[in-house]
Amino acid sequence: MKKVKILHCSDIHFDTPFKELPKEIGTMRRAELRESFSKIINRGIDEKVDLVLLAGDLFDNDTIEKSTLTFIKDQMDKLKKHNIRVFISAGNHDPYNKKSFYNMVNLGENVHIFKDEIERVEIPELNTVVYGASFKEKYIKESKLKDFTPKEEDKDLVKIMVLHGDLGNNETGEYNPLLFKEIEESKMDYIALGHIHKFSGIKRIGNTYYAYSGCPEGRGFDEEGDKGIILGEVSLGVVDLDFIKTNKREYFLKEIDISNCKTKEEVIDKILNTISKESREKNLFKIILKGNIEESFKIDSDLIENLIRDKFFYCKIVNSTRMKIDIDEMSNEYSIKGIFCSLIKDALESNEEDEEILDIAFRIGMESILDGEVNLNDN
């Protein structure tokens, strides 16, 4: 049985601004996107893949460095030297139109960029047909798979499709709302998807396998965990595909309970003892301080962040602690604090208000009374 070896990658987002990060770290992360992509291309060459499938959002936004276009061209040329063909379905961040960056560089004859309607490219020497479609504008409100039917002559060919879109059961959406039933009815052997930045697992519906590869490098704290590509073989009705980790660094949201800490030095020790030196120096962390602390202990997130900065590749401190206050005892005080605590206590006992809302109101009120200012969760 004829097998086609593929490398499926998506959502690289070259030249991401990384606005949340300091300028020098953002610059480094942009360079690391290139580094990861170069390693991915080299992996494809080493594995002797037949096809590289890029499922959209190669570019991030409306600006790109000329050197990035040159870099991508060089990577495509490396693949060409090894007779590896590339198929690109442009996404919502890099729509394929007259103003597209794709028109600013000749990526080579081994690269096919799909237009906005589903196209079919047959590769006789591989006994394979590849389908795909690109975003033409930022939004696509109707599924590209609507009313799609494969050709009769495809039945004995390995059938692959490359699409960028949002898969689910909802017919409405702004990013090519693909339906599960459309995946099943496509009769493809494998559909390489882009748009979701997390590996989906290799899924199957009917006789069609599909997957989101996720992005090769996380770009924010909403993109935790391993990132990578999909590599393996596709044949008629069968796939043998694996997720391959590619990210150089990981993003971590880390909650640390500092209820027993009474000084900033103790907080710093708790942070450094919780996260290993190796992980601190390699990865990016947003540390959320939790727990109940004494009324007299004021958390200065910026100060703590500055004091531990040299221990991390990147670290952001967020204060989500709460004051340790005995509301019953304080409600008996003859003071503004006492009156306020008494009101909150009465509301809690009456059950007329949502407890979570009252808890937030209590925190805001007490901080206003104690400090003359409100220190809400600063993330």
Alpha helices in 47-173 (DSSP H): 66-80
Q: What is the pLDDT of residue 374?
A: 46
CB 230 within 8 A of CB 213: yes
State whether residue 260 is helix, strand or coil: coil
State whether residue 272 is helix, strand or coil: helix
Higher pLDDT, 376 or 230: 230
CB 319 within 8 A of CB 378: yes
Strand 292-294 relative to strand 251-257, pairing: unpaired
| Strand locations in the chain (E) | 4-9, 51-54, 85-88, 111-113, 119-123, 128-132, 158-164, 166-168, 177-179, 190-194, 203-205, 208-212, 228-235, 238-245, 251-257, 284-290, 292-294, 314-319, 322-324
Q: How many CB atoms lie within 10 A of CB 376?
A: 11
- Give the separation between CA 39 and CA 15, rounded to whole angstroms: 17
Q: What is the pLDDT of residue 372?
A: 57
Beta bridge partners of residue 161, listed in sequence order = 131, 191
At 155-189, the pLDDT tens digits run 999 999 999 999 998 888 999 999 999 999 999 99
The arithmetic mean of pLDDT across residues 200-214, rounded, is 97
- Give the separation between CA 32 and CA 282, rounded to whole angstroms: 13
At 229-256, the pLDDT tens digits run 999 999 999 999 999 999 999 999 999 9
3-state secondary structure 301-355: HHHHHHHHHHHCCEEEEEECCEEECCHHHHCCCCCHHHHHHHHHHHHHHHCCCCH
Looking at the chain, the whole-number percentage of residues with pLDDT higher than 70 is 95
The arithmetic mean of pLDDT across residues 63-87, rounded, is 96
pLDDT at 361 exceeding the cut of 90 = no
Q: Mean pLDDT over all residues of the chain?
A: 92
Does the domain at residues 4-245 carry the CATH identifier 3.60.21.10? yes
The dihedral over CA atoms of 247, 4, 11, 229, expressed in degrees to the nearest 10, equals: -20
In the chain, where are the structural domains located? 4-245, 251-371
At 268-299, the pLDDT tens digits run 999 999 999 999 999 999 999 999 888 778 89
The arithmetic mean of pLDDT across residues 299-311, rounded, is 95
Q: Residue 154 has which token pair?
A: 């495809």
CB 127 within 8 A of CB 3: no
- Give the separation between CA 235 and CA 24, rounded to whole angstroms: 46
pLDDT at 107 exceeding the cut of 50 = yes
At 120-130, the pLDDT tens digits run 999 999 999 99
